[in-house]
Structure 1
Amino acid sequence: MPVSPSLPDTELAAALDESACLGAWTHDVSADRFSVAASLAHALDLAPEERTGVPLARVLSLIHAEDRPRIAGLLSASQEAGGPFEAEFRTWEGRRGARWLRLMGRTDIEGGHRAVRARGLAFDLTEGRLGRGSPARQAQWQANQLADHVIAMKGLVPPLGNPSLARLVDRLAVEIGFELARRLTQAAGDVRH
């Protein structure tokens, strides 16, 4: 079986620099030390010396007040149950202005009952959220985001055992499908002209 060549470290670093990936983060739960990559520290508006470890409460203080309780609850639930998670949130308007970030990670549980660490990657969603690019590109991005979210909802609703909610999500999925189809038709028409 052929082995694919690995990407040289310089190319990997360049690809990450050009992407929305802000780098890795780690939370040592027992020591309550949240450490982040330099670019994520910059996006969060952390001081350079803080990137090597601050209490989780400090990181939460940098999240927009409307998003903070939801993110704190998600991280707390992750520490109880372990496993993968992801969350999107806004930061406060620091020196660089407000940012939209996504944390994706996993919490490791030791002995089946105690969280020991969480770690993952962070992504900057600001460009898409603030509507940079052409109106058509922004609308397509929004439609794609809606599709991603309704797909996630379809997976989350069945365990709740709520048929009314399931029907609403199914109807929403159909409407979003129509919107995506309309956008694809428009895009194909624009290419032909």
Structure 2
Amino acid sequence: MPKPKFSENRTCAAFQGALDALDVIGNWSWDADTDRIQADLFVALLFNVDPKEAEAGLPLDAFLASIHPEDRDRVQAHIHRGGRGGGLYVIEYRVCSADGVTRWVLGRGRFLHDHRGQPVSGRGIIVDITDVRMGEASSGAVEMTEFHEPEPPLERAADFAMAAHQAICELEDPALKARADALLLDLGRKLAEQEQRLRRTQMN
């Protein structure tokens, strides 16, 4: 298990603060030109990377290092597949977070390509679904689910909410950001519930 990047007390306090402020959801974005992923505080702590470095941008390997060894190859393969083919993906896996706890997360993202088919960017959300997972008897992982147009309303709403959240963060308006955070949180929970129903259907 990767060692926390901070002192134990500081890590626990930072993680608890993020949980109190953001509950169970974080955001990330990827730029093809720099090949760097920028992530917010919650994602940084989930993946045990320095929050300031995550905000500035880190290579994919920095985040992959904290994915559970049994899930890492599967997640990396899906990310590369999404980067090549574009479109939306949803995947569940485990991470060894900064407080030393192994958590289940739901990753939901999209990669965009230019007219030549080359990837240019990606963005997504990470939802902590540990409580949902711990309440289930099954520990099997759910493979990536790709959605094709026309997208369900929930998927379209998540796309628009992520784009709006990014723009609102640039405005530096705390009140608007709090509302955007709340909307993303609600959508993240709905996405987690959707995946839970899918998993139950596949098990029956």
Classify the TM-score, shorter chain. Answer: 0.5 to 0.7
Counterpart position of 2:30: 27
Offset of 1:104 from its aligned partner?
A: 0.6
Amino acid at match of 2:35: D
Task: Give percent identity, aligned residues only.
Answer: 27
Offset of 1:75 from its aligned partner?
A: 0.7
Structure 1 length-normalised TM: 0.59
Counterpart position of 1:73: 77
Q: Which residues of structure 1 form unaligned runs of 5+? A: 1-15, 132-137, 154-171, 177-193
How has the CA–CA distance of structure 1 residues 48 and 75 changed in structure 2, closer, same or farther, with 3 Å as cutoff? same
Q: Secondary structure at the match of 1:113?
A: coil
Q: Which residues of structure 2 form unaligned runs of 5+? A: 1-19, 138-192
- For 1:1-193, what aligned pairs fall within 5 Å after superposition? 17=21, 19-21=23-25, 23-52=26-55, 53-92=57-96, 94-131=98-135, 147-149=197-199, 176=204
Measure the CA separation in 1 of the matches of 2:200 and 2:134. 21
Structure 2 length-normalised TM: 0.56
Q: How many residues align?
A: 129
Residues 96-145 of structure 1 show CA distances to partners (whole Å, capped at 9, x for unaligned) of 411111111110001241111110111001112223xxxxxx57xxxx76
Q: Which moved more, 1:71-80 or 1:47-56?
A: 47-56
Q: Secondary structure at the match of 2:78?
A: helix
Q: Secondary structure at the match of 2:67?
A: coil
Amino acid at match of 2:28: W
> What is the CA RMSD across the aligned residues, in angstroms?
2.6
Largest Rg, 1 or 2: 1
How has the CA–CA distance of structure 1 residues 49 and 17 changed in structure 2, closer, same or farther, with 3 Å as cutoff? closer
Q: State the 4+ residue runs in structure 1 displaced beyond 3 angstroms.
A: 16-19, 144-147
Task: Report if the CA contact (8 A) 1:33-1:56 is conserved.
Answer: yes
Between 1 and 2, higher relative CO (CA 8 Å, sep ≥ 6) is seen in 2
Measure the CA separation in 1 of the matches of 2:42 and 2:196. 28
